[in-house]
Amino acid sequence: MRVETRTLEFETRGNTQVLDITRRVAEAIRSAHLTRGIVSLFVPGSTGALTTMEHEPGAVEDLQGALERLFPRGAPYRHNHTGGDDNGHSHLRASLLGPSLTVPVEEGRMRLGTWQQIVFIDMDTRPRRREIVVQFIGE
């Protein structure tokens, strides 16, 4: 049993961009020669989130549309007053989706569904350089 940690870096456009990071996570698992255990993913930051989905253009637009409908960018947010920010909606979207995800690994591969990808969603209102922490616990 061992712990292995990798940090993946991404250049994002923000504005609820939905990045498929499955391949990058799979490569990190291979390079660490992990065969079985859990992969725990985490976004260090309060305007990004992780989940899974079928990452095809239609479903991506649906998710962006639903987040805009439920937490509209143009609505009045206290956060935008107190901090001089414009990303109050980004914080809400990130907190609701959540910053952590845990995926089982067997025989060196994640047990994802056939049409299921791991996505990192950057809700912030500007392009950013982002990190995702990938931590394996297992054999």
Is residue 84 close enough to count as binding a copy of itself by CB under 8 A?
Answer: no
Q: Which of 120, 92, 126 is nearest to 23 (CA)?
A: 120
Return the C-alpha torsion angle 127, 128, 129, 130, nearest 10. -120
Structural contact between residues 139 and 34, judged by C-beta atoms closer than 8 angstroms:
yes
Cβ proximity to a copy of itself: between 15 and 135 the closer is 135
- Among residues 11, 13, 33, 98, which is the contact residue for a copy of itself, using CB under 8 A? 98
Structural contact between residues 133 and 44, judged by C-beta atoms closer than 8 angstroms:
yes
**Tokens 């950013």 sit on residue:** 128
Interface of this chain with a copy of itself, residues 102 to 131, rule: CB under 8 A? 102-104, 106, 111-113, 115-117, 119
Interface of this chain with a copy of itself, residues 3 to 42, rule: CB under 8 A? 3, 5, 36-38, 40, 42
Single-letter code of the amino acid located at 31: S
Cβ proximity to a copy of itself: between 11 and 139 the closer is 139
| Contact string (CB under 8 A) for a copy of itself, positions 35-64, x = contact | -xxx-x-xxxxx----xxxx-xxxx-xxx-
Rounded CA-CA distance 125/45 in Å is 14
CB half-sphere exposure, 23, CA atoms < 13 A: 4
Give the binding site for a copy of itself (CB under 8 A): 1-3, 5, 36-38, 40, 42-46, 51-54, 56-59, 61-63, 65-66, 70-71, 77-83, 88, 91-92, 94-104, 106, 111-113, 115-117, 119, 133, 135, 137-139
